[in-house]
């Protein structure tokens, strides 16, 4: 899928959001870019109902500016970060108090803004849904991306073996420096299953697929019997020729996942589990955000163009 970049972006003054009884008003200090943002700016990924249709942005870091009448977790001035279904490209936003996360001590707002989407997405897909645990073998596509670098660190923290793919040899070398044990360079023919199985005889237990398209058949081939393909992204396209005999014969599970459109109760449950099991790993230093660049919000359009070019390693962060 060739993405040429966003068009028609502009800065506008809009009414300040007002927090409901269970919500907090956040003064946004930093946000980070995601593929979903790029797609939304191109008219390919509209915001869910009830979310500002004209203000993209899925993650934030900032300070609590006001609290609703029933809020008990936060007070004005607290440093928070988290995910929203939209509206993070603004100086203020509102979110449910139980969806917000405390920024770990020692992390700047720029660091914190690079955490929510990448680490929550990869952790939810790998652990909560994919069943990754100690000794699991995991194939991470686009390992140099924000979600990819987060997944790589989570594999190490949870005792799983990571194998990463990518089309850029230099970025794979950088992933190795980050701790990637095995890298597989993928060519234009999208053939990688045999190379993966050299590192994981018998196949991998989980594939974190950020690519989709014509990579899917090879991903299924690379899976071990009863393995799981977690489909997170569709950079290579939204259609695939699926070898159903492979799915049937190896008793594979193919699961799609997205955080943005889930019901509030599910989002809160994921946030609370993330807070309990993952957030302490940032305090200990076992996990850290990987940032490609930190830019002012005035450079949003060139930052999105850079994201579309696939030249990034980790996250692009924007600050007000």
How much is the average pLDDT of 261-289?
A: 96
Please check whether residues 283 and 199 belong to one and the same domain: no
Residue with tokens 């990819």: 148
Please check whether residues 109 and 41 belong to one and the same domain: yes
Model-level pTM greater than 0.75?
yes
Structural domain ending residue among the three candidates 205, 221, 256: 256
* Confidence grade of residue 7 (pLDDT, cut at 50, 70, 90): low
Q: Is residue 12 part of a domain?
A: no
Structural domain ending residue among the three candidates 256, 273, 291: 256
Please check whether residues 142 and 168 belong to one and the same domain: yes
Q: Is the pLDDT of residue 6 over 70?
A: no
Percent of the chain residues past pLDDT 90, beyond the cut = 89
Please check whether residues 127 and 159 belong to one and the same domain: yes
Please check whether residues 238 and 140 belong to one and the same domain: yes
| Host domain of residue 217 | 118-256
Positive/negative CA dihedral, 63, 149, 232, 41: positive
Q: Is the pLDDT of residue 256 over 90?
A: yes
Q: Is residue 237 part of a domain?
A: yes
CB atoms within 10 A of CB 111: 21
Q: Would you state the pLDDT for residue 3?
A: 43
Q: Is residue 66 part of a domain?
A: yes
Please check whether residues 81 and 164 belong to one and the same domain: no
Q: Is residue 277 part of a domain?
A: yes
Q: Rounded CA gap, 222 and 10, in Å?
A: 44
Q: Is residue 18 part of a domain?
A: no
C-alpha dist (Å) from residue 160 to 150, 156, 274: 13, 6, 18
* Confidence grade of residue 51 (pLDDT, cut at 50, 70, 90): confident
Please check whether residues 230 and 280 belong to one and the same domain: no
How much is the average pLDDT of 63-72?
A: 98
Beta bridge partners of 26: 64, 93
Q: Is 243 left (phi over 0), alpha (psi -120 to 50) or beta?
A: beta
Please check whether residues 195 and 150 belong to one and the same domain: yes
CATH number at residue 303: 3.90.180.10
Residue with tokens 């459109």: 261
Q: Would you state the pLDDT for residue 42?
A: 86
Reported as type and span, the H/E element at residue 220 is: helix 216-222
Please check whether residues 156 and 188 belong to one and the same domain: yes
Please check whether residues 98 and 38 belong to one and the same domain: yes
Structural domain ending residue among the three candidates 216, 240, 256: 256
Reported as type and span, the H/E element at residue 305 is: helix 300-308
Q: Rounded CA gap, 299 and 181, in Å?
A: 35
Please check whether residues 186 and 59 belong to one and the same domain: no
Please check whether residues 92 and 190 belong to one and the same domain: no
Q: Is residue 16 part of a domain?
A: no
Q: Is residue 166 part of a domain?
A: yes
Q: Is residue 15 part of a domain?
A: no
Read off φ and ψ for residue 59, nearest 5 degrees.
-145, 155
The answer to whether the beta carbons of residues 34 and 59 sit under 8 Å apart is: yes
In tens, the pLDDT along 219-255 reads 999 999 999 999 999 999 999 999 999 999 999 999 9
* Confidence grade of residue 54 (pLDDT, cut at 50, 70, 90): confident
Give the list of residues 6+ apart from residue 69 with CB closer than 8 angstroms, or none: 21
CATH number at residue 242: 3.40.50.720
How many separate domains does the chain show? Answer: 2
Q: In the chain, what is the greatest distance between 2 CA atoms, to the nearest angstrom? A: 58
């Amino acid at each position: 899928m060739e993405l040429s970049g966003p068009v028609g972006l502009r800065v506008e003054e809009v009414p300040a959001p007002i927090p409901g009884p269970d919500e907090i008003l956040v003064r946004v200090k930093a946000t980070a870019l995601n593929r979903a943002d790029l797609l939304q700016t191109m008219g390919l990924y509209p915001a869910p109902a009830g979310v500002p249709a004209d203000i993209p942005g899925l993650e934030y870091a900032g300070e609590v500016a006001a609290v609703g009448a029933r809020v008990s977790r936060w007070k004005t001035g607290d440093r928070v970060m988290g995910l929203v279904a939209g509206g993070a490209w603004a100086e203020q936003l509102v979110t449910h108090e139980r969806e917000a996360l405390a920024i770990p001590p020692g992390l700047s707002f720029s660091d914190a803004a690079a955490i929510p989407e990448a680490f929550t997405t990869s952790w939810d897909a790998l652990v909560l849904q994919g069943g990754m645990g100690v000794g699991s073998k995991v194939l991470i596509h686009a390992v140099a991306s924000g979600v990819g670098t987060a997944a790589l660190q989570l594999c190490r923290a949870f005792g799983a073996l990571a194998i990463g793919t990518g089309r850029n040899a230099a970025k794979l070398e950088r992933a190795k420096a980050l701790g990637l044990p095995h890298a597989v360079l993928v060519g234009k023919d999208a053939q990688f299953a045999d190379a993966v199985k050299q590192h994981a005889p018998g196949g991998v237990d989980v594939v974190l697929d950020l690519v989709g398209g014509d990579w899917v058949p090879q991903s299924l081939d690379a899976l071990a019997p009863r393995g799981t393909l977690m489909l997170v992204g569709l950079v290579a396209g939204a259609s695939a020729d699926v070898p159903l005999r492979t799915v049937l014969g190896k008793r594979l599970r193919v699961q799609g996942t997205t955080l943005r459109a889930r019901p509030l109760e599910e989002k809160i449950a994921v946030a609370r589990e993330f807070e309990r099991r993952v957030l302490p790993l940032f305090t200990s230093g076992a996990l850290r955000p990987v940032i490609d660049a930190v830019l002012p919000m005035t450079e949003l359009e060139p930052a999105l163009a850079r994201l579309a070019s696939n030249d990034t390693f980790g996250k692009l962060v924007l600050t007000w």
